[in-house]
Amino acid sequence: MALTNTLKDSLVKAENGKIINVASEASRNHRDLKLPYDLTDISPFTVRGSSEIYGKTKLLNIMFTGELARQFSGTKVITNAINPGFNNTGLGRDLHLSTLLGKFFKLINIGNPKRGADIIIRLAFDPEYERVTGGYFNVGTGAKVDPIYPGEDIFMQQLLWNNTKELLLEYLT
């Protein structure tokens, strides 16, 4: 949110201002979302809880994108979220067997990050998405994905926005 607010005027003035947030279908593993608690939870990170935490962060990216689209309503700024699919980027390299699995996936050509980048490039430049905003799109097909609840819940998106704004103001003052 801080970066978006910093760039807001430039994005609005731009002929084709676009924001593309990286989410994930891992958002479906978020369990219970509790706002504003989940924005400030500093519980110790564990291997067991990592999937849930990762899922929550990706769900929050989807929700932020929906509210951001409303915040830029009436401008030419387009904002969408994407699911880049599985990418062998080294995320999770501290988990057991991750390095070995990463080498194996690379050997059999699974999880190439270029595939995940393709949907970002399509949303940024393909005329098909020129006027589409507030969506969540899938790698490969480029099809719109319906996120898990509360991904499209307007009340929850606004709550996330307001909670984040309050936290940033508290932090910056």
Q: What is the DSSP letter of 43?
A: P
Q: Which residues contact 105 (CB under 8 A, 6 or more apart)?
A: 88, 111
**pLDDT value for 173:** 79
**pLDDT value for 63:** 98
CA distance 47 to 105: 21
- 80 contacts 65 by C-beta, under 8 angstroms: yes
Q: What is the DSSP letter of 71?
A: H
* Geometric angle at alpha carbon 63, from 125 and 115, rounded to 5°: 40
Question: First and final CA of the chain: distance in angstroms?
Answer: 16
CA distance 116 to 95: 22
pTM summary value: 0.87
pLDDT in tens, the chain (173 residues): 888 989 999 999 998 999 999 999 889 988 889 999 999 998 887 777 778 888 999 999 999 999 999 999 999 999 999 998 766 555 656 666 666 666 666 666 666 777 778 889 999 999 999 999 999 999 889 999 999 999 999 999 999 999 999 999 998 87
**pLDDT value for 38:** 93
CA distance 82 to 143: 10
The CATH number given to 12-165 is 3.40.50.720
CA distance 65 to 83: 13
Residue numbers annotated as active site? 54
Q: What is the DSSP letter of 13?
A: H
Domain ranges of the chain: 12-165
CA distance 81 to 119: 10
**pLDDT value for 26:** 87
| 121 CB-contact burial (10 Å; exposed 0-12 / middle 13-18 / buried 19+) | exposed
Amino acid at 127: P
